[in-house]
Structure 1
Amino acid sequence: MISGDGSTQGGAAEFTAETVGAVLQAACPQADLEPSGAELVRLGSNAVYRLAGVPVVVRIARDAGALGEMERAVRLARWLEAERFPATRVWGGADQPFVLAGRVVTFWESVQDREEYGTAGELADLLRRLHWLEEPESLRLPNFDPFAKLSGSLRRLVGVSGVSGEDREFLDERAGRLQKEYDRLDFVLPFGMIHGDANVGNVLRHRDGSAVLIDLDGFALAPREWDLVLTAMYYERYGWHTREEYQEFVYRYGFDLLNWPGYSVLADVRELMMVAWMGQQVATSAQSAGEFARRVQSLRTGEGRREWKPF
């Protein structure tokens, strides 16, 4: 459903707590919800609010062109619910998403009143089950092209204060080299539906104690290795997972990506996507700017990845 004041997507205001708060105030009545007392949980790729008094989470997309993606996420959530797959659920029966002031807004059932993440083993269980599902054509999932996504992220770094021309040139050159290496990869897992951003940060503990998968807007068709690479990287490169956590993930999914010859290339591509995303955050805080500089230096030298901080 599209509603609002007629603002164009290209005319959306700067993405700040103040501007997204105004969008929240306008959007909640569209779903017969009250915005008073809402808590801003996160301000990143999306603004995420938890409403007061009702188990509802509101997501407001930073990307003003995210309408098609979020329409697909809503269709996907309703299909996963019909399949009884443990994933986040759309709130209510109203048509979604809404568009107000050039922003795309969706409403979701809150998993619980606080953020409690699942384990690497539970992520493996969810991915194994997800990868067994056969998606209907009606979902119209896109083929995942990591370099289309990466190119867009790198273009958005132009003109960003705190990202030098030298840094952008280095990242562009690295992307070009990696695309050639990626095109030569021999994937061994089946091609099919993936989550697209599979990591423990997207697995939440439900009120009933079960683990559920969230953030459905990155679903696509791709080699399943994409859904395994972040957990492998978080262990092998950054030390964000322990050896025991990673071994549990491998045991429960049934495949160790670190033993696949293409792992390092896939990890380099995924890592560059992470760095490009961080570059878009440098103006938001000194912490983000420092993390971007740290990550670019690591790519230049091949050292210091254990000093990266998760965001």
Structure 2
Amino acid sequence: MRRLGCIILLIGLVVTAFVAFRFVHGWTEDGPGKDVTIIVPEGASLSEAAVLLRQAGVVRSADAFLTRAKVFGGSEPIKAGEFRIPPGASNAEILAILQGGRALTRLITIPEGMPSILVHERLMANDQLTGDIPVPQEGSILPDSYAFDRGEPRAAVVGRMQAAMDRTLAELWAKRSPNAVVKTPREAIILASIVEKETSVPAERPTVAGVYGNRLRSNMMLQADPTIIYPITRGKPLGRRIRKSEIAAVNDYNTYAMTGLPKGPIANPGRLSILAVLQPAQTRALYFVADGKGGHIFADTYQQHNENVRKWFEIRRSRGEL
């Protein structure tokens, strides 16, 4: 009987040791080989998260995960959000992901100079956002990359974009140069939107702004091609050459048929274009034309400008564009 008792005791110790080993090893061993994302709702408990993990197939047992997490995981609460669970993640690694709050970062990017109609289309096309929105006011969006959560309302994202523009404009307006021609923050956005659409070379923006400042002071027409296009397409690419009738069209935007600024912005200008308008280059130039290399040539006089235009047409003819 004593020998039998010893054997039973030994078996019990072996079984206990095995169970203990499996319990401990189960905390750090590789999990199922799946790469998934899970969404932990705001206020979800650890037990609720365990069920979500089991349903997603990244833990073998919700109860086992919960028990191990309580024993080995400490008292740090889990975070809400969308989380990526990498293939083979152990129970310990999964809990660390949920407790560390390493939620997925989703970004939507608004390029400099994108008109609001295209901002609207980009937001509406993103199926991870929710809710309908109107086209934002032109010039109210600061071009940048913005993080958002899956299921977040589009209106909330637009609100952040507009708040960023308000902050940036207030910051730059406070540092404006006495040489700036604009009299109000709205005028700054209007002129910055024209500068944005006229050149894609950042180093040129202060000079382009300086040229337009000189023209406004001299009561000259700005004659900016993008202001012809905006009333036609609301900022979308025209896809063809501008017609003579469109150059002569009288409206609130066409700066070939009016002096002064258009009635509103023609795009959403970036920070550098706003800065260029508020801190323009000191220049006597009144004209500029493309140089054939992606930039522009500037001229102080109409005679100089005509010569630069002649050279530009020669370049276009050599390319077969005329």
* Normalised-by-shorter TM-score class: under 0.3
The TM-score, its normalising length taken from structure 2, stands at: 0.24
Q: Which has the higher contact order (CA 8 A, sep 6+)?
A: 1
Structure having the higher strand fraction is 1
Structure with the greater alpha carbon radius of gyration: 2
The TM-score, its normalising length taken from structure 1, stands at: 0.24
